[in-house]
Structure 1
Amino acid sequence: MTAEQRRSAVTYGQESAAVSEHRACRWLGVHRAPVRYVATPRRDDGPLRERLQQLAGDHPRWGVPLLTWQLRREGWDDNHKRLERVYRNAGFAVRNRVRGGGGARVVPVCGLPGDRHQPKRLIAITETGDRHQPKYAPAAAARSVQG
């Protein structure tokens, strides 16, 4: 049974038996709060969405907190949760920066088997893969200093 059906059943019970809302709800086993609830119509999100789109285009690295701050400075009196909902439903998101991969790093390595006469050897380590699952490929580094 939907809330609207409950409201109409309570109203019918009140009118037919000439009893109070409290008693009609008690007879039907319905709480009074949903019967008394009056829904408020939602405001149009169009102007807010357009302004968010303009701000997101001007400042692509700004997230919801900075956009909320800017809109409040401009006179928008909307809840931060509403702004976040409109932002998310409009499909905006902060773009992640693509960071450059690091090339080869030269690392001194000690204690490898057969290093009795050469205590330190240079090995170049090349990073591949993404930043969450890096893969390392060791390669022998060429020494530039001749001795």
Structure 2
Amino acid sequence: MIAQPRATKRYRGVRREKDAPLVAALRRVSAERPRAGSRVAAAHLRREGWTLNDKRAQRLWREEGLKVPRRQRKLRRLGSSANSAQRLRATRINAVWSY
């Protein structure tokens, strides 16, 4: 018996070559529709004629590192309606409470 921790020997799965065209199609859909996630991309590919379920699409999506970019928050308008286009700056402590 070798004095080696069990954590050093783990199973590493082998990527299947038959998934390569499907992964390329997922990447293409992700580039075409940046706000679509794995489920929407899977539905889009099913309409194109691919055979896959949501779990497989989600697994391949995760393995490829594809992500949906976060939405940027809107900047709120501040001040009265006369100068609502300008963002107020604090000139002293407690001058502006919300941005």
- The normalised TM-score by structure 2 is 0.60
| Aligned 1:92-131 pairs, distance under 5 A | 92-104=66-78
Structure 1 segments of 4 or more deviating over 4 A?
Answer: none
Q: Does 1:76 align with 2:50?
A: yes
User: How far does residue 98 in structure 1 lie from its aligned partner after superposition?
Assistant: 1.1
Q: Distance in 2 between matches of 1:75 and 1:55?
A: 14
Gap regions ≥5 residues in structure 2 = 1-15, 81-87
Once the two structures are superposed, residues 60-98 of structure 1 have per-residue CA deviations (whole angstroms, 9 ceiling, x without a partner) of 001112111111111111121011100111010110111
Higher strand share: 1
Give the SS at the match of 1:97.
coil
Give the SS at the match of 2:58.
helix
User: How far does residue 43 in structure 1 lie from its aligned partner after superposition?
Assistant: 5.9
Contact 2:39 2:57 in 1 (8 A): no
- Structure 2 partner of 1:48: 22
- Structure 1 partner of 2:12: none
User: How far does residue 102 in structure 1 lie from its aligned partner after superposition?
Assistant: 2.1
Identity %: 34
Residue type of the partner of 1:138? N
Give the SS at the match of 1:66.
helix
Structure number with higher relative contact order (C-alpha < 8 Å, ≥ 6 residues apart): 2
- The normalised TM-score by structure 1 is 0.42
Residue type of the partner of 2:94? P
Gap regions ≥5 residues in structure 1 = 1-41, 107-125, 127-136, 141-147
User: How far does residue 100 in structure 1 lie from its aligned partner after superposition?
Assistant: 2.8
Residue type of the partner of 1:87? W
Query: Which of 86, 90, 94 does residue 64 from structure 2 map onto?
Result: 90
Number of equivalences = 70
Computing the radius of gyration over CA atoms, which structure comes out larger, 1 or 2? 1
